[in-house]
Amino acid sequence: MLSVCLPGTGGMLPLPGRWLTCCWMEYQGGALLIDCGEGTQIALREAGCKLSRLETILITHFHADHVMGLPGLLLSLGNTGRTEPLLIAGPPGLREVLTALLVVAPLPFPVHAAELLPGDTLPGWEGLTMTCRALDHRVPCYGWRIEVARKPVFSPEKAGLLRIPQQFYRALHAGEAVTLEDGRLILPEQVLSGVREPYVVSYSTDTRPVEAVAELGRNAGLMIAEGLYGADAEKAHEKGHMVFAEAGELARRAGAKRLWITHYSPALTAPWEALSAARAIFPESVAACDGIRMELK
């Protein structure tokens, strides 16, 4: 089960009742965070996200509303007693940005920076992977695809016909061959039945509506995309952003199961009022709010 939460949904600056856009995902006891604007550590606490589980931070780009919360969050993480390294990944230039930000945040744990190129994939934990693609913004910006491979379906019926004792089920389900007490070698494919779709979540903010957004969200259980200016297409084009209808069209082309729209302009005080434009194209569109959460299972 992959749990996804948006502790904040705002763009440009935090507001009363709306923190800056970020995304928190948990899987098998570990967590990752995408972006970290001002006050993100507070947004995480209000959303019930446990900072001690954090394994990796992914950065989309280096505008202030996506990185200026890093010193405060990392200091908060240090106050939990953390000593193990933390991985932070993002576009080229990440090391320089982190060096500057961490001048004011001496930490009791090491931070490892990974500067990635478009298309690079980072391995996570328990079969989780993180892949970036270049988006179209005023500065270099990445979208992310989080994918969790799932074990094939185990068939107790097939195992029963082969008279396999239950103590071997776990190893076979994990893809390991086993030798029974009677000397028979049992291969995993003899007791597995069907492939499960992976868990997939895509995250794309601060971009024009480019094909990379749809590629990141291909067949995703949840696609997260920005709609900064609601329906003001002229302003969105000028500033390098999207409107709700464009996000809906990309979700439709991606074949995603659900779309969360996020990263609202401070002037967009009632984002749900613009939602009909996206739903007319992609009915499973949601105007996300701070703390929205779902589980892919």
Known binding-site positions for Zn(2+): 61, 63, 65-66, 137, 206, 263
Distances (CA, A) of 221 to 7, 191, 199, 224, 288: 19, 27, 7, 10, 16
Q: How far apart are the C-alpha atoms of 33 and 290, rounded to whole Å? A: 15
Q: Which residues contact 147 (CB under 8 A, 6 or more apart)?
A: 128, 129, 131, 198, 199, 200
Residue 295 exposure: Cα atoms within 13 Å on the Cβ side: 5
User: Any alpha helices (H) in the chain, and if so which ranges?
Assistant: 40-46, 64-67, 70-78, 94-101, 156-161, 169-173, 211-216, 233-239, 244-254, 275-279
Residues that constitute the known binding site: 61, 63, 65-66, 137, 206, 263
Q: How far apart are the C-alpha atoms of 127 and 271, rounded to whole Å? A: 36
- Active-site residue 65, yes or no? yes
What tokens does 216 get?
């990141």
Question: Which 3 state secondary structure label does DSSP give 51?
Answer: helix
Among 35, 65, 120, 232, which one carries the catalytic annotation? Answer: 65
Report the run of H or E that residue 200 belongs to, with start and end. strand 199-204
Active site members:
65
